A and B are shown apart, each in its own frame.
Chain A
Amino acid sequence: MDKTLPSLAEAVAGIPDGATIMIGGFGGSGAPIELIHALIDQGAKDLTVINNNAGNGHVGIAALIEQKRVRKMICSFPRSADPRVFTEAYLAGEIELEIVPQGTLAERIRAGGAGIPAFYTPTSYGTDVANGKAIGTFEGREYVQERWLKADYALIKAEEADPHGNLTYRMAARNFNPVMATAATVTIAQASKIVELGAIDPEHVITPGIFVNHIIEVPNPAQEEVLNREGAVYP
């Protein structure tokens, strides 16, 4: 078994218009910039994108929005150092926004990957975010029912991958990547390095390959923060 694909273009080739796509990362940390840019080149539109944020500057998710490919963002915090692309699209009514508290977003994705259609959380009880949602009382306290979140595709960023798709991550770039890998029909991981089977200590595997469909090697991946400081614009 070898899940390696030769190019980014090939990895994203099958993504259709209207797809729901989870994109890993928290701000720029762990953001699969090269996969996002390949998706921009590929041209799919009317996308629903799930990410913690809604892009920064004019690269990555911000560039995808700027190219008018995103119909809806599902995120916890659509602000950033330079949030103009999303803000202008949102205030112009060109993009839909579903705000989800950050821990609820992570848990909805986890539930999606784990086959749990709904769960109860204390988060957001009594707030506008809970409007219209079922409330349950457990041991005398109120909880809000939240539903799982699944996607057609997940684009994630790993540090090392082996041909079976076992993945490691680097520092805080892990964030949403491992949970998103579990919750999509097709998970595509870019890795800084593809190593041979056995080169990743089994004790160090963070995402087991069963959750991963395709891997692509992207040595020395771009950092969103660095690109933004350089004033980069994609394409």
Chain B
Amino acid sequence: MIDLDTIKLSNAQIAWRAAQDIEDGAYVNLGIGFPEMVARFQPEGREAIFHTENGVLDFGKAPEKGDEDWDCINAGKKAITIKPGTAFFHHADSFAMVRGGHLDVAILGAYQIAQNGDLANWSTGKGGVPAVGGAMDLVHGAKRVAVLTDHVTKKGDPKLVAACTMPLTGVGCVTRIYTSLALIDVVDGHFVLREKIPAISFDDLQALTGAPLHTDGEVIDLICPEELA
């Protein structure tokens, strides 16, 4: 059995790979937590504009500790800053941007992704306090809906599955999946493998994936910088 921990991409590397696909001028929403890391790896010479659900477009970096202004936060309730170009707006306008097709890319985390693009990322279905936030809105409306995720769960079970067993966030909404082992598109109800890390074979990757991996042309080596700040 391969030791995934020694070969898999770090979260920073997954975020770096996702950032390479964000074109100059794109309007982008990054989910709370792991996806927020994508903003750190914008390629030189490209300017993406980031949207946060609570009503800010084109915000700046986090302030220094002690300089926080708690009227200026992102959807994760973390302090942000303004910069030339920042816009504030109310919540109904914010979600008009989301549902109205004005965002180019939304990047979210996931519990499970099905081969037809169904996403489960808001509830494990095991009780506790349910909380959905803006995820169900974000998966509809953005031109591309991408997911960042470990390829398998902590127990080693596939997160890319034939059909989701957890409560759905959205139906047929995911277009691209960046995992710790591969880059996979959802096309016509199938997982299509575009890139994989060289250290894993196609067969081993398939064994870690809960539905058939298709190919459509060459599978490219997925190579990320080793050191990412």
- Residue numbers of A with Cβ under 8 A of B are 26-30, 52, 76-81, 83, 86-87, 90-91, 97, 99-107, 109-110, 121-129, 169-179, 206, 223-226
| Contact A171 B90, CB 8 Å, known A27-B77, A103-B98, A129-B136 | no
The answer to whether A101 touches B94, judged by C-beta atoms less than 8 angstroms apart, is no
For B55, the chain A residues whose CB sits under 8 A away are 26, 172, 174-175
Indicate if B104 sits at the interface (CB-CB under 8 A).
no
For B71, the chain A residues whose CB sits under 8 A away are 29-30, 170-173, 223
Indicate if B82 sits at the interface (CB-CB under 8 A).
yes
The answer to whether A123 touches B129, judged by C-beta atoms less than 8 angstroms apart, is no
Indicate if B58 sits at the interface (CB-CB under 8 A).
no
Q: How far is the CA of A79 from the CA of B123 in the complex (A)?
A: 13
The answer to whether B131 touches A77, judged by C-beta atoms less than 8 angstroms apart, is yes
Q: How far is the CA of A78 from the CA of B134 in the complex (A)?
A: 12
The answer to whether B70 touches A29, judged by C-beta atoms less than 8 angstroms apart, is yes
The answer to whether A129 touches B132, judged by C-beta atoms less than 8 angstroms apart, is yes
B residues 52-82 in Cβ contact with A at 8 Å: 52-56, 68-73, 75, 77, 82
Main DSSP-derived SS at the B contact region: loop
Give the B interface residue count (CB, 8 A): 40
For B23, the chain A residues whose CB sits under 8 A away are none
A and B contact pairs by CB, cutoff 8 A, 15 listed: A27-B77, A29-B54, A76-B131, A102-B132, A103-B91, A103-B134, A103-B137, A104-B136, A127-B170, A172-B72, A174-B88, A175-B90, A177-B90, A179-B91, A225-B68
Q: How far is the CA of A179 from the CA of B89 in the complex (A)?
A: 11
For B56, the chain A residues whose CB sits under 8 A away are 171-172
For A100, the chain B residues whose CB sits under 8 A away are 132
The chain B residue with its CB closest to the CB of A177 is B90
The answer to whether A128 touches B54, judged by C-beta atoms less than 8 angstroms apart, is no
The answer to whether A97 touches B130, judged by C-beta atoms less than 8 angstroms apart, is yes
The 3 closest A-B pairs by CB, nearest first: A103-B95, A103-B137, A126-B171
The chain B residue with its CB closest to the CB of A122 is B140
The answer to whether A101 touches B134, judged by C-beta atoms less than 8 angstroms apart, is yes
| Contact A171 B134, CB 8 Å, known A103-B95, A125-B171, A128-B167 | no
For A27, the chain B residues whose CB sits under 8 A away are 73, 77
Q: How far is the CA of A196 from the CA of B206 in the complex (A)?
A: 69
The answer to whether A81 touches B77, judged by C-beta atoms less than 8 angstroms apart, is yes
The answer to whether A87 touches B129, judged by C-beta atoms less than 8 angstroms apart, is yes
Q: How far is the CA of A83 from the CA of B128 in the complex (A)?
A: 12
The answer to whether B70 touches A90, judged by C-beta atoms less than 8 angstroms apart, is no
The answer to whether B169 touches A127, judged by C-beta atoms less than 8 angstroms apart, is yes
For B54, the chain A residues whose CB sits under 8 A away are 26, 29, 172, 175
Indicate if B19 sits at the interface (CB-CB under 8 A).
no
Indicate if B133 sits at the interface (CB-CB under 8 A).
yes
The chain A residue with its CB closest to the CB of B119 is A127
Least CB distance from B92 to A in Å reads 4
Q: How far is the CA of A214 from the CA of B53 in the complex (A)?
A: 28
Indicate if B190 sits at the interface (CB-CB under 8 A).
no
For A179, the chain B residues whose CB sits under 8 A away are 90-92
B residues 79-106 in Cβ contact with A at 8 Å: 82, 88-92, 94-95, 98-99
For A122, the chain B residues whose CB sits under 8 A away are 99, 140-141
